[in-house]
């Protein structure tokens, strides 16, 4: 068994060996891979004579859980095979792994009378790393998948698959993320697609809140709350207090709050002219609660 401390230097060869072989012969290469530390598993790339063999192969995050890499290789007219392994993960944190039971043998071309398909579930691990601005499509989604048996690629909302794990220019709302897992298995059924959905919320839209109201004025006689047209959420509550902290007015109805405060105490008697404090609470679709505190002058 070989135990390896992952290198932070890109392209470092973990192991190489040159073997004399027969030309025009089919060979099978196999090895077993496991994580030694649970965080940040290794991602190995196997090559023969500097040509990639199969797809990148990741260790399982759980310690000492072995996975087999197996791939066929045709020698064509060469009589030497240099087998090398490179760890594509260059993050030195964690990234320690073990390899065991190397096998490189001549074999015959396989034939199938049935196909066994083993699907290893992929945990998409998606998160919103940048919220889009109000009414804009400039958000960011990052995918950090766990699991999978082969080469992974990613798509959003039915668009083309890509190898990058970042989606840019994302708008708010629900989005469908897809991960395609193409294994190195010799089978026509070697592609699996896993789907999930993610809710992207936008940064709070501006809300116009006046700071002065004049009683019986045609233009600003009420404490109107005016959200931006792209505001997506609910104004959950409005509370008005005097300078001593006494509650003069409160509403927990979005439609009523939009109509504004009329300058009256509990909608009955007019409040004296002066400065009053307010607390506004906004609820957003992703569960966020935003509170805004300010003051209003009543004249």
Residues of the chain with CATH 2.60.120.260: 2-106
Residues of the chain with CATH 2.60.40: 122-200, 207-298
CATH of region 122-200: 2.60.40
Choose between 174 and 219: higher pLDDT.
Answer: 174
Question: Is 207-298 assigned to CATH 1.10.3470?
Answer: no
What beta strand segments (E) does 144-273 contain?
A: 146-147, 151-156, 166-170, 173-182, 191-200, 207-208, 212-213, 226-227, 234-241, 247-251, 264-265, 269-270
pLDDT band, residue 152 (cuts 50/70/90)? confident
Instruction: Return the pLDDT at 184.
Output: 46
Give 24-49 pLDDT, tens digit per residue: 999 999 999 999 987 788 889 999 99
Choose between 31 and 231: higher pLDDT.
Answer: 31
Distances (CA, A) of 74 to 26, 190, 282: 5, 20, 64
Instruction: Return the pLDDT at 201.
Output: 87
Instruction: Return the pLDDT at 232.
Output: 82
Answer yes or no: is pLDDT of 266 > 50.
Answer: yes
Q: Which residues contact 147 (CB under 8 A, 6 or more apart)?
A: 60, 120, 121, 122, 123
Please report how many Cα atoms fall inside a 13 Å half-sphere around the Cα of residue 217, on the Cβ side: 13
Instruction: Return the pLDDT at 112.
Output: 61
The b-or-e profile of 133-171 (16+ CB within 10 A means b, else e) is ebeeeebbbebebebbbbbbbbbbeeeeeeeebebeebe
Instruction: Return the pLDDT at 186.
Output: 45
**Best CATH choice for the domain 2-106 from the list 3.40.140.10, 3.90.470.10, 3.90.1150.10, 2.60.120.260:** 2.60.120.260
pLDDT, average across residues 197-217: 83
pLDDT, average across residues 288-292: 88
pLDDT, average across residues 252-276: 87
Q: What's the burial of 41, exposed, middle or buried (CB within 10 Å: 0-12/13-18/19+)? A: buried
Average pLDDT, rounded, for the chain: 85
Choose between 56 and 279: higher pLDDT.
Answer: 279
Give 7-27 pLDDT, tens digit per residue: 888 889 999 999 999 999 999
Instruction: Return the pLDDT at 145.
Output: 81
Pairing, β 80-87 against β 13-20: antiparallel
Choose between 229 and 16: higher pLDDT.
Answer: 16
Query: Using CA atoms, how far apart are residues 123 and 76, in angstroms rounded to an integer?
Result: 39
Instruction: Return the pLDDT at 91.
Output: 85
Decide if 79 contacts 21 (C-beta within 8 A): yes
Instruction: Return the pLDDT at 117.
Output: 55
Answer yes or no: is pLDDT of 166 > 50.
Answer: yes
pLDDT, average across residues 215-236: 76
Answer yes or no: is pLDDT of 123 > 80.
Answer: no
Instruction: Return the pLDDT at 185.
Output: 46
């Amino acid at each position: 068994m070989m135990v390896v401390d992952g290198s932070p230097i890109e392209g470092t060869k973990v192991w190489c060996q040159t073997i004399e072989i027969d030309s025009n012969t089919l060979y099978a290469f196999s090895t077993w891979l496991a994580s030694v530390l649970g965080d940040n598993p290794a991602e190995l790339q196997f090559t023969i004579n500097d040509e990639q063999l199969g797809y990148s192969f990741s260790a399982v995050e759980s310690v000492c859980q072995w996975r087999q890499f197996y791939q066929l290789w045709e020698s064509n007219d060469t009589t030497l095979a240099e087998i090398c392994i490179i760890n594509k993960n260059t993050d030195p944190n964690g990234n320690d792994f073990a390899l065991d039971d190397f096998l490189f043998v001549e074999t015959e071309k396989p034939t199938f009378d049935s196909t066994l398909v083993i699907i290893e579930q992929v945990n998409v691990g998606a998160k919103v790393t940048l919220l889009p601005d109000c009414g804009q499509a400039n958000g960011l989604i990052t995918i950090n998948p766990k699991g999978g048996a082969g080469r992974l690629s990613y798509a959003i909302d039915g668009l083309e698959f890509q190898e990058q794990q970042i989606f840019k220019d994302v708008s708010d709302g629900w989005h469908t993320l897809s991960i395609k897992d193409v294994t190195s298995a010799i089978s026509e059924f070697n592609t699996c697609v896993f789907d999930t959905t993610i809710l992207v919320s936008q940064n709070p839209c501006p809300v116009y809140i006046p700071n002065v109201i004049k009683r019986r004025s045609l233009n600003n006689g009420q404490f109107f709350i005016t959200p931006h047209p792209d505001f997506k959420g609910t104004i959950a509550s409005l509370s008005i207090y005097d300078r001593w902290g006494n509650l003069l007015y409160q509403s927990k109805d979005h439609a009523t709050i939009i109509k504004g405060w009329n300058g009256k105490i509990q909608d009955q008697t007019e409040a004296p002219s002066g400065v009053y404090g307010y607390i506004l609470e906004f609820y957003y679709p992703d569960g966020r609660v935003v509170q805004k505190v300010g003051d209003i002058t009543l004249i």
